[in-house]
Amino acid sequence: MSDLLFRGGRVFLAADAFAEAVLVRDGRIAAVGAESDVAGLAAPGHETVDLDGGLLTPGFTDAHLHPVQAGLERARCDLSGIYGLPRYLERITAYAASHPGHEWIDGGGWDMSAFPGGLPHRSQLDVVDRPVYLIQRDHHAAWVNSRALELAGITRDTPDPADGRIERDADGTPSGVLHEGAMDLVGLLTPRPTASDLYDALMEAQNHLFSLGVTGWQDAIVGSYAGYDDQLPTYVSAAASGALRARVVGALWWDRARGAEQIPELLERRRSAEGLERFRAGSVKIMQDGITENFTAAVIEPYCRCGGTGLSYVDPALLRECVAELDRHGFQVHFHAIGERAVREALDSFEGTDPANRHHIAHLQIVEPSDLPRFAKLGVTANLQPLWATHHAQMDELTLPFLGEERSAWQYPFADLQRNGTLFCAGSDWPVSDADPIQGMHVAVNRTEPGGSIHAGYPTAQTPFLPGQSLTLATALTAYTAGSARINHDDDAGTIVPGNRADLVVLDRDPFTEPAADIWRTKVAMTFIDGQEVYRR
């Protein structure tokens, strides 16, 4: 492999530190500094990448996403990227017509805010002559038709599962929306993807992520959830064959209906991935609550208007015991926590754990102010999904009215967490939201919708949401690079320093030199892994 010289732009190092050039040799960073110095170290016959005034950054690592599910949804009835019932029905009926041999119509990506009260209805899907199962964009609910309910045997007499809810009409008849654990009542009846389907979905997702500069990630649910099958064998196979080029950590799914008796199984699942260069299964994902929009996020004081305090999926006392044992076995624990009670329960469970395991809590929609200092004290990383911290219909119509003024002001407190010394990593939660890290950075800095968003036309989309919680671009970029590489225990990536792997991204401009409002316009021009090009725009 010949030397590779990057020149003609700037190189992001850290905070306010930049360089002019980088030399790559044998897949590693060989030199960083002034162009005149670095170019002189390049071997004869070296290749040159002209940054053309753009910015060279470390490869992005997405600390929380679901790529196999995303790949499957992209291959099925995909409602992401469009909005509103008429457009949904147009795509659903077109998909059904073009796939006459499919026993079920399944897919997802619909947005709660497109429906009054956030709730579609089974009757809207009854125009399709087959059972329909469509997962909501946030993956916390499913929209089904009457035929699907019939096949599942769900009637007005069917009780809600302990970890979910069947939405019902006034007379008790299931309306066609299944929340949380109730999704499996129908989802597990849908046709199972083949091993080839799962492999193709992973490869499709990997190619898409490369086009966005993502060179590594943490898959936030490796296991069976919401009607999806376990993708651990897919990762192991792809890593063993060399098809998996990205470096990936799998967060093994914690079955919230069970306790510590499942830990030996998790240990065996971890062992099944040992010895693989590109994939490790060293994290465990615990989903402690749901989401605010369907009132399953665990809050301390009742929701306004509707009452209730949401769901804690794992009893807090049991949670502390299980997290302590996972920690003793060297597992990293990766929490989903949306409501302030769930965040507190997660933090409580980390008391006395080993910070070297690099535990983290994702989403952090609501954090009670007294809990802000505890992240740094406990060595817990805040895993940010910045794209959600804006005014959009789901926030303004389905969240703010039910949280109340004081609690609404506790949402996505990025700057407060930083002031308290919290370490950051960042991710997209794709396919819940856009996988593009640049769009997430735009929101982290501006707290407004990116100009290219399907929500950008919403009346308040360009009104900053709690602008006092904004981050600098350098902080946001560091979260998506060094911060997320760190959470994956990938200690020779995430920064451009001699000796580190040459996982690199060339941006088509230098966003540090342009107005903050235009960050979203930045595109990835090239992506490199181990100094080898894996994407060119």
Give tens-digit pLDDT for 329-344: 999 999 999 999 999 9
Cβ distance 296 to 179 under 8 Å? Answer: yes
Percent of all residues in the chain with a pLDDT value above 70, rounded to a whole number: 100
Neighbouring C-beta atoms of residue 499, cutoff 10 Å: 8
Q: Which long-range contacts (CB under 8 A, 24 or more apart) does 80-85 make?
A: 80/108, 80/109, 80/137, 80/431, 81/109, 81/454, 82/454, 83/111, 83/114, 83/454, 83/455, 84/114, 85/114, 85/115, 85/120, 85/124
According to the model, what pLDDT value does residue 454 have? Answer: 80
Q: Is 308 exposed, middle or buried (0-12, 13-18, 19+ CB in 10 A)?
A: exposed
Taking only the tens place, the pLDDT of each residue in 374-389 is 999 999 999 999 999 9
Cβ distance 496 to 58 under 8 Å? Answer: yes
Mention every residue, 6+ apart, whose C-beta is less than 8 A from residue 518: 511
According to the model, what pLDDT value does residue 316 have? Answer: 98
Taking only the tens place, the pLDDT of each residue in 298-307 is 999 999 988 9
pTM over 0.85: yes
Neighbouring C-beta atoms of residue 520, cutoff 10 Å: 24
According to the model, what pLDDT value does residue 268 have? Answer: 98
Distance from chain centroid for Cα 408: 22
Mean pLDDT of 150-164: 94
Cβ distance 503 to 532 under 8 Å? Answer: no
What is the biggest distance separating any 2 CA atoms in the chain, rounded to whole angstroms?
Answer: 79
Full 3-state SS string of 504-530: EEEECCCHHHCCHHHHHHCCEEEEEEC
According to the model, what pLDDT value does residue 490 have? Answer: 98
Taking only the tens place, the pLDDT of each residue in 450-481 is 998 888 888 888 999 999 999 999 999 999 99
Confidence band, pLDDT 50/70/90 cuts, at residue 430: very high
According to the model, what pLDDT value does residue 137 have? Answer: 86
According to the model, what pLDDT value does residue 484 have? Answer: 98
Mention every residue, 6+ apart, whose C-beta is less than 8 A from residue 83: 111, 114, 454, 455
Q: Is 28 exposed, middle or buried (0-12, 13-18, 19+ CB in 10 A)?
A: middle
Mean pLDDT of 183-193: 92
Cβ distance 63 to 487 under 8 Å? Answer: yes
Cβ distance 306 to 355 under 8 Å? Answer: no
Task: Tell whether the model's pLDDT for residue 226 goes beyond 80.
Answer: no
Cβ distance 450 to 520 under 8 Å? Answer: yes
CA distance 232 to 114: 34
Tokens representing 513?
């030199």
Neighbouring C-beta atoms of residue 161, cutoff 10 Å: 17
Q: Is 310 exposed, middle or buried (0-12, 13-18, 19+ CB in 10 A)?
A: buried
Instruction: For residue 178, give the H/E element and its range.
Output: strand 174-180
According to the model, what pLDDT value does residue 228 have? Answer: 83
CA distance 149 to 161: 15
Taking only the tens place, the pLDDT of each residue in 20-68 is 999 999 999 999 999 999 999 999 999 999 999 999 999 999 999 999 9
According to the model, what pLDDT value does residue 453 have? Answer: 84
Question: 28-33 and 141-144 as β-strands: parallel, antiparallel, unpaired?
Answer: unpaired
Task: Tell whether the model's pLDDT for residue 216 goes beyond 90.
Answer: yes
- Three-state DSSP state, 344: helix
CA distance 223 to 231: 6
Rg (CA), the chain: 23
Which range has the worst mean pLDDT, 101-115, 314-328, 432-446, 485-499?
Answer: 101-115
Give the residue carrying structure tokens 């009104």. 463
Cβ distance 382 to 372 under 8 Å? Answer: no
According to the model, what pLDDT value does residue 525 have? Answer: 98
Mean pLDDT of 347-355: 98
Question: 532-536 and 524-529 as β-strands: parallel, antiparallel, unpaired?
Answer: antiparallel
Mean pLDDT estimate for the chain: 96
Cβ distance 145 to 92 under 8 Å? Answer: no
Full 3-state SS string of 116-135: HHHCCCHHHHCCCCCCEEEE
> Which of these, 137, 157, 149, lies nearest to 175 by C-alpha position?
149
Task: Tell whether the model's pLDDT for residue 250 goes beyond 80.
Answer: yes
According to the model, what pLDDT value does residue 140 have? Answer: 87
Which parts of 280-357 fold into alpha helices (H)? 316-328, 340-349
DSSP letter at 350 equals: T
Mean pLDDT of 251-269: 97
* Torsions phi, psi for 108 (to 5 deg): 170, -175
Cβ distance 507 to 522 under 8 Å? Answer: yes
According to the model, what pLDDT value does residue 98 have? Answer: 96
